[in-house]
Amino acid sequence: MTFRAPVSEYEFLLNHVVGYDSIPATDRFAEATSDTVSAILTEAGKLCDEVMAPLQRNGDLHPARLENGVLRTSPGFADGYQAICDGGWVGISAAEEFGGMGLPQTVAVAVYEMMAGACLSLQLAPLLSQGQIEALEHHASDAIKELYLPKLISGEWSGTMNLTEPQAGSDVGALTSKAEPNGDGTFAVTGQKIFISWGDTDFCGNICHLVLARLPDGVPGTKGISLFLVPKYLPDAEGNPGKANDLKVVSLEHKMGLHGSPTCVMQFDGATGWLVGPEHGGMAAMFTMMNNARLGVGGQGVGAGEGAYQHALAYALERKQSKTASGFIADHADVRRMLMEMKADLFASRAILMACARAIDMHTATGGSDWAARAAFLTPIAKAFGTDTGMRVSETGVQVYGGMGFIEESGAAQYYRDVRVTAIYEGTNGIQSMDLVARKMMDGGEMAFALIDEIEEQAERARATHPNMAESVWQACESLREATEWLVSQQDMQDRFAGSVPYLRAFARVLGGHYHLAAAMADQGGPREKLARFYITRMLPEHSALLAHAQAGAEGTFALSLDELAG
């Protein structure tokens, strides 16, 4: 089948649902008008449709591999990556002074989500570089910025992030990698890192690794961690790749999916690195990269879900089985239900992504602390719900195919295998949920209640044209308000954590109803109003069961002993 980037969907969301017009109204992004953004999305869509989508199966069937220590990427990936670079897409939101486009994150997230739908394995390479660019912009010395940023932004060099070690996964503070001062302003970095996406390529002149390690005087835990830039090749006096650094790819992981993206075990043996940010300030610097990376991973989930939906829909519109109005299985009630749920959840999760990205842009443009708080609150929801949606939609896509979905040649299973990791990396979805109910509620729920108030205000406005849908959203919002009041009153964090996942999902469900209602108001009598009615009538009610679970506390969760769990 042929992938079609959802350009028109993004244009509708930006112009009618999430309030994009506030972004070009600022001085910072005055040139990023709706017309300009539409032109950019159209060009990005062509790249996705014509260049990246044809590589989707190549990455799965012909995985990246190591040959005598040299990494070989999937057929066509080098040309695809070069096309991304030629379009300037690596530096879409990077600073113009170093060669970037300087566009809003809202636009960058939209473009990269479309890329993920076309070919997730390849999209991951420039996404990682984009994250490193942002970390260096905020924390690196001027000398590092001047040398590395232009090459990363052009795509000539690529970037990675090296956090995880065999004994230090989500518990980053348990890492043992060390960095010793060399006496000349550089450091000797030693240690092994695992799960390093795109730890090497055969189409970039240099690979720039951001590595977390501990200095000799670093205290145990996360407060003693520093961040280092460790390139594969040491730049020479002219800034070109010179002598090979003391690092290597030990092996590639054999994975469930994302076969076109090499996931490396990296070994650093006294490799030369440069400090990024202050000593022992590595986690703060890395989280600059990770926070927006989490939003980007949410986009990966939505993008993979979009690809799976289009793949399943195409099959449902050509497969004939039993009698239906059209003759195709798309007109069987249960198949139609699956397709509607897929489409409705993709809209909801995409709208949450855009709302979060808009908050980031408004904070960048205005410096307003309220925008920063909104972005921080929405980030774990966007990441977790976006990737949950990607998994759910991709799994449903296999079901639409029926028996053929279980056959690899159909390509349906690849979407599920590829997207599954997005709920794990950049902070598992469970950790996102715990972050939401703990750190993001340290304000006593102020931001949560502000969002709830906004949802109810829109529902009140919608009563004039959509009374039934408005009432459903308003009532769901009141239930969410009561659950949030209960949540912030809990002093034992285990009571919050035990219900954090259903609470996040319920919040996302209500946000989805909010954005679907906005779409219905903007498209009265049109297909988006019909989709909104389906979501609000059939999917929004899930919030009730989720909130009951969220408020059940921890006691029942720990009712069985460890021995009883095993019995």
What pLDDT does 1 receive?
Answer: 57
CA distances, 141 to each of 131, 135, 419, 535 (Å): 17, 11, 36, 49
Please say if 426 is a catalytic residue: yes
Q: What is the 3-state secondary structure (H, E, C) of 292-342?
A: HHHHHHHHHHHHHHHHHHHHHHHHHCCCCCCCCCCCCHHHCHHHHHHHHHH
Q: What is the pLDDT along the chain (567 residues), one digit of tens a residue?
A: 589 999 999 999 999 999 999 999 999 999 999 999 999 999 999 999 999 999 999 999 999 999 999 999 999 999 999 999 999 999 999 999 999 999 999 999 999 999 999 999 999 999 999 999 999 999 999 999 999 999 999 999 999 999 999 888 788 888 999 999 999 999 999 999 999 999 999 999 999 999 999 999 999 998 999 999 999 999 999 999 999 999 999 999 999 999 999 999 999 999 999 999 999 999 888 777 777 889 999 999 999 999 999 999 999 999 888 888 899 999 999 999 999 999 999 999 999 999 999 999 999 999 999 999 999 999 999 999 999 999 999 999 999 999 999 999 999 999 999 999 999 998 999 999 999 999 999 999 999 999 999 999 999 999 999 999 999 999 999 999 999 999 999 999 999 999 999 999 999 999 999 999 999 999 999 999 999 999 999 999 999 999 999 999 999 999 999 999 999
In this structure, are residues 244 and 195 in contact, taking their beta carbons and an 8 Å threshold? no
**In this structure, what are the phi and psi dihedrals at residue 534, rounded to the nearest 5 degrees?**
-60, -50
User: Hey, do 159-284 and 430-566 end up sharing a CATH topology, with the first three levels equal?
Assistant: no
What's the residue count for the chain? 567
> Regarding the domain delimited by 430-566, which CATH topology (the fold level of the hierarchy) does it fall under?
Four Helix Bundle (Hemerythrin (Met), subunit A) (1.20.120)
Every domain of the chain and the residues it spans: 159-284, 430-566
Q: How many CB atoms lie within 10 A of CB 158?
A: 27
Point out the catalytic residue in the list 113, 134, 165, 426.
Answer: 426
159-284, which class in CATH?
A: mainly beta
Contacts of 530 (CB under 8 A, 6+ apart): none
Rounded distance, CA 273 to CA 276, Å? 9
What pLDDT does 285 receive?
Answer: 84
